[in-house]
Amino acid sequence: MSKKKIENCQIHGLNIIDAKVDVTFKNLAKHIQLLQKEKTNIIAICSIPIIIRSLEGKLPKKHNGSCIVALSPDGKYTVPLLDTHSGANELATKLATILNSKPVITTQSDTFLGVSPDNPPPGFVLDPDCNYKEFISALLDRRSLKNVPAYSWLKSKKIRVSGSSKLEIKFSINSSIKPNKELLVYRPQKLIIGIGTVSGASYVKLKKLVLDTLEKKDLSIHSVKAIATIDLKKNERAINKLGQYLNKPIIHFKASELNKISPQLANSSEYVFRTVGSHSVAEAAALVAAGKSSKLIVEKNKSAEATCAVACSRQVIKNLPSTQNGTLSIIGLGPGSDAWRTIEVNNILDESTHYLVFQVT
């Protein structure tokens, strides 16, 4: 198996010291548990009972661990074991394609329906309030839907369309469309919240402004892909804290980038231009982040300390501009060989683009 065909793949070996082995370990159970804790996906070339015994019942909560795929020692079968609908089924299928082997998929929705409704592709979010278990149980029983979703990842010949079916799937950015046991709701991530603030703005007041704006305009927070603002606000506590609270990345733009879309603004301000160098912050940042042909669906809404606006992209937003804050990781390499480093440290080193090294003497 060529590890180059699987992104960021490393080879770990039990008591194997070889140039082709990236990490050598001595205790399989402890090593698998460590990888699980660090959320590292695992392809285990061994029997399934060995994996089960190695976990020792220490299973993480659903969607909170890593994918585990068992590869039979002869390479003929790939079997997803944990987090099947969070990437394990996909990894097993990809691995089977590389090895020309057979994926053994055991989840009911994949087996009987041919789709995985709880594993949408990037750009879509299954509303957290969905009663997925009850909905999928009914769908497995009836095998029919009131409507056919327009997206290929939900189409299946195993699911009939019936006007009499009570089961329905909807895609909506509107918070008033709420899921229930017969309605599955996906949130297309098309929205960008643009924010501008005075220095030292109140986080509580900013959060209220943003949430009240979304509620008033009937917009779901789950359809928001990111928060956007000007680069002068990289260290603005209220904005950064809001990003953490909403679990949304924050994108920063230079004033020159914001000025490029000045003709699209609903509210251009000479005062803002004199202050920060762009004719708008909230509206402009939202539009730039949402991409070409995006539309301003919420014009600048303001309080005494902040402004917010919302732009909507024509398509779901899968990738964001590379203008987000970076991540600083402080690690210790310790004594000894590379094989002594933890998996987490190796991952941080692989993902980092810049290194600042200190040597204590």
Asked whether residue 142 is assigned to any structural domain, the reply reads: yes
Does 82 have pLDDT greater than 70?
yes
Residue 161: pLDDT over 90: no
Report helix, strand and coil shares of the chain as percent, to nearest 5.
Answer: 35, 20, 45
Instruction: Tell whether 81 is covered by a domain.
Output: yes
CATH code for the domain in which residue 217 is found: 3.30.420.180
Residue range 331-347: mean pLDDT, rounded: 72
Mean pLDDT of 261-268: 88
146/256 same-domain check: no
- Range with lowest mean pLDDT among 92-101, 253-262, 290-299, 320-329: 320-329
Q: Which residue, of 312, 334, 349, is where some domain finishes?
A: 312
Residues 152 and 179 in one domain: yes
Q: Is residue 238 part of a domain?
A: yes
Shared domain for 200 and 291, answered yes or no, is yes
Q: How far is CA 359 from CA 108, 329, 333, 339, in A?
A: 54, 16, 10, 20
Q: How many domains does the chain have?
A: 3
Residue at 141: amino acid letter:
D
Confidence of residue 1 (pLDDT cuts 50, 70, 90): low
Share of the chain above pLDDT 70, in %: 93
Is pLDDT larger for residue 153 or for residue 286? 286
89 and 25 assigned to the same domain: yes
Residue 342 within any structural domain of the chain: no
Average pLDDT of the residues in 183-189: 96
Residue 35 lies in a domain: yes
Last residue of a domain, one of 137, 165, 187: 187
Are residues 25 and 13 located together in one domain of the fold?
A: yes
Q: Is the pLDDT of residue 339 over 70?
A: no
308 and 195 in one domain? yes
Euclidean distance between the first and the last CA atom of the chain, given in angstroms as a whole number: 43
Give strand pairing partners of 167.
Answer: none
pTM (global) more than 0.85: no
Is the predicted pLDDT of residue 334 greater than 80, yes or no? no
Question: Does some domain include residue 325?
Answer: no
Instruction: Report pLDDT for 83.
Output: 79
Q: The domain containing residue 66 runs over which residues?
A: 3-106
Q: Helix (H, G, I), strand (E, B), or coil: what is residue 295? A: strand
Lowest mean pLDDT among 188-192, 250-254, 275-279, 347-351: 347-351
- Domain boundary among the residues 170, 187, 204 is at 187
Instruction: Output the pLDDT for position 11.
Output: 87
pLDDT at 322: 65
At 22, which CATH number? 3.40.50.11220
